[in-house]
Each structure stands twice: as structure tokens, then as C-alpha cells.
Amino acid sequence: MNPPLRLGIAGLGTVGTGVVRIVRQKAALLAARAGRPITISAVSARTRDKDRGVSLSDYAWEDDPVALAKRDDVDVFVELMGGSDGPAKAATEAAIAAGKDVVTANKAMLAHHGQALASAAETAGRVIRFEAAVAGGIPVVKTLTEGLAGNEITRVMGVMNGTCNYILTRMQATGQGYNALFEEADKLGYLEADPNLDVGGIDAGHKLALLSSIAFGCQVDFDAVALEGIQEITLGDIRHAADMGYRIKLLGVAQMTGRGLEQRMSPCLVPAKSPLGQLEGGTNMVVLEGDQVEQIVMRGPGAGMGPTASAVMGDVMDIARGFRLSTFGQPATDLVKCETAVSVTPAPYYMRMSLLDKPGALAKVATILGEAGISIDRMRQYRHDASTAPVLIVTHKTTRDALDTALSGINRLDVLSGAPVALRIETV
């Protein structure tokens, strides 16, 4: 049998521990499938004495992940620490410089530094694999780079943050508001240390930027992703959407347009009977559309020890088998800097606002919409209290630019109680 592939694992949290368990428990299976043993030489983490439920006594310990990355008995550096900069980036750069291949689950690091890291790795003849960085156990990176390599990708779309999907679906199922479900998600350990990474759409935006690079041959450009979180979604919005046959999802969409690459992560209305509309709980779903396959829907767990460790090991196994591929599916030197297009694709929008109970208030809003070139498909006024009247408007297809112009004008009116909320109705 061929010599073993030796791993150095930096980060022994949920995912790192899961990788260690797979290597220990599935040794014979991995060796049979890879044609060589998969072993662990050394590990690194912030706390050495923590009980992680798996024995680490067979492995060398390095307090410094950079030292781990440089070890002579490590062939593949497995980076599972997280963070866009700091130790994760320094250790990854050190591994590449030392002639190691890299497997990482670090979406933030690649979203911010992917182009530079990919260029360095490819110049050194090394590979960076990152299946675990996007959608947990769903093999979407492999699907885009390999299975759909003969397709011109037209659109990438999906629910890529399980925490947000959990909150939104629980709002519908339980009748509880956003704040209550946010607290529930926090108690269950679903939220990042900085919750805004989840509910603000940042975590999912990192993932979308990585998939966009593969799908459209562009340099990773997270700064070009238009981000909007779920914090303003109310129980009323959930119910209004359901009345119209829709569900609200934090939806990522990337597509190439005549004006450039459009990338957005925002709450949208999707048909309730569509695969995305039926997605419940913390599950992820990615929809890929290509000119040859039309549409592929991939659904699965987006986080957790087993699914994410499984994705890491898939990358390790490819390296063990000798399969080598450019980081983003084609050489980093060939990736172009794409022009940014901000929501140029027209779509209908759901608008919710609360108007002061004054004569002519609704007419003023309708006038502003008309002046922006936006026509109203349907409108509903709900039962109001003594001073305000909730109003729901669904527009015909319009551009985001036109909508933003209208919203700016509406916000200047003296008939508004609070800022209006506008959500795109997405075709899926």
C-alpha cells in the first residue's frame, strides 16, 4: 500500500473533533477507498487539557498553529480554527509556503483573502480545498467544480444559513415573534459568538461569494455582495406572505447579468410549494441552474459535527487519491474581476408599512410609487388602531433602483409611522 497521508489539524472544536473521530473510527474504510492510510501526526488548539470526548494521546501537540503547519510530518494542513485573519490566515500561508496542501472550513478567510491564497497555493503547486466552508454536508463545491464543469452556470441560489431558516420557520410554526425565536436559537447554541454574522446575513454572504467565484469564473468579491438580514421580519410579515402562498427565506442569489455579476443575500418571498419554500428548520438548500442541466436542487444539513467533518474528509480523500484541482475550479490567474451589478433583475416586491390614520395618506404613497415607475399589483389595508393603519402592497415587476427611489420618497412623507419594509418576491 502507498505511504500514509499525514494530517495536521488546527482547531479542535466541534468540526475538528469530528474529523479526529472519523480518522480513528473509519481507518480501514478510508485506507481502502483512498488506496493509502489516512493518519494524524499532530494537532493544535487554544486549550490543551479540555475533554473533547476523543483521545488525542497518539498525536503530537503544537500550541502554535503556524508551527503545526510547518511540521515535516504533516502533508495536509487542516484548518478548522475560523476567523478571516489572525492565526488561521497566518497558519494557512505558512502551510502553503512549507509545501503543504490545505483543507479548510473557513468561509470568512476565503471570502476575504481567497484570491491571494489561491494564487499562492497554485504558484507553489499546492491545493486548497474548502467543501466544508459552504453548506455543511452538501457537496456543492464539488458539484460546481466537477459535476457541472460542462455547464455555463446561469444562477446560484439557496438558503445557506441554518440559524436564520430555523428562526423564520419557527416563527411560522409557533406564532412567536423574532425576538423570542432569536433567544431560543441562542439557547440551543445555533448562533455565532457575534450573532450578526448569522442574522445579518454575513455568514451566508461569505458562502455565496465563494460559490459565485466558482460558478462565474470571477475573483472572490465579498464586498460586492448586497447584504440584508432578517432582523426586521415580523410575525405579521410571515403571516401576510403565507396568505399569498409564499414563505420568507434568507435567500442568496448570484447571477451574471448584462451589467455585471449580481450577488445578494436578503430575505425574500418564495413560493410555499417550491423546494425552497418547503425547507424547514436548520437545513440548507442550494439550487444550481446551468444551460445543460437546467436546475439541480441539493438539500442537506448545513452545520454540525458529522456533516461538516464529512465534507472535510471528502476533501482529504481527494488529495489522498491524487486528485488536484485549482481552488476555484480554474487557475487563479484566469479569474477575472467582475463588474458589480446591484439587483438589476426586475422582480415584484412585497412592501409593508404603517401609515398614520390621516386622509389621503395612502394616495400619497401610491403617487410616490407611480412617479418611480412602479405599478401596484395588489394592496390590502389591515385592521388599524386609533392612530395607525397597517398597509400591505405587492408591486408588479420593478428594479431595486426604482424601488429604492420610491422608498426614499415615501420615507420623506409625513404620513408614515416607522420605516417601511420591502422584500423581493423571487422566482424559483
Positions annotated as catalytic residues are 207
The cell for 13 is: 472544536
C-alpha dihedral (143, 149, 151, 155), degrees to nearest 10: 50
Beta bridge partners of 257: 260
- Cβ atoms of 158 and 332 closer than 8 Å: no
Using alpha carbons, select from 229, 262, 227, 269 the residue that is nearest to residue 247: 269
Of 72, 115, 139, the C-alpha closest to 308 is 139
| Phi-psi group of 54: left, alpha or beta (phi > 0 → left; psi -120 to 50 → alpha; rest → beta) | beta
For helices 178-187 and 162-174, angle between their N-to-C axes, nearest 10 degrees = 130
In a 10 Å sphere around its CB, with 0-12 CB exposed, 13-18 middle and 19+ buried, how is residue 272 labelled?
middle
Residue 35: closest CA among 313, 317, 312, 315: 317
Closest to 205 (Cα-Cα) out of 163, 248, 250: 250
- Alpha-carbon Rg for the chain, nearest whole angstrom, is 24
Q: What are phi and psi of 423, to 5 degrees?
A: -125, 135
Residue 98, C-beta contacts closer than 8 angstroms, at least 6 positions apart:
69, 70
d(C-alpha 98, C-alpha 307), whole Å: 30
74-to-28, 34, 46, 349 alpha-carbon distances in Å: 20, 17, 19, 53
